[in-house]
Amino acid sequence: MSKELKLFKDFWDDVPSLFNRSWGFPKLFSGEFDKILNGKCDFEELDDKYVVELEVPGVQKDEISVSLKNENLTISWSRKKEKKEGDNKNSRYERNEGSFTRSFHVEGTDPEKIEADLKNGVLKLVLPKL
């Protein structure tokens, strides 16, 4: 590895601590950053439909909201923190409460025929076009 590449890699590996230390963004890269990265998605427009596959690991069906308004599809979820018994200083909880929203422009869809399926942490929506 060249000296320049190693220097860049070392800097990039230290970015989280730089933010936490220098610019006063506590937890921006420790836990909160994971929430930003949630919602990896595949969005496909075909001749007759749109297909959206969105990662929602650990999210239950009743925590997800899907709406279609003015040709904008909005998918969101919200989870409240679960109360844990026996909390002590040796415990570590990384799966806290959080929320997520993602929107897509889906022109000319038929709202009456939208199909949704949640399987293995992936929400799949099929939106037929008119």
List the domain boundaries for the chain: 1-37, 38-81+97-130
Q: What is the pLDDT of residue 7?
A: 56
The DSSP element (H or E) to which 100 belongs, if any, is strand 98-105
Q: What is the pLDDT of residue 86?
A: 63
The DSSP element (H or E) to which 49 belongs, if any, is strand 49-55
The pTM assigned to this predicted structure is: 0.64
The hierarchical CATH code for the domain 38-81+97-130 is 2.60.40.790
Q: What is the pLDDT of residue 114?
A: 93
Interval 70-90 mean pLDDT: 78
CA 130/CA 127 separation, integer angstroms: 9
Interval 100-124 mean pLDDT: 92
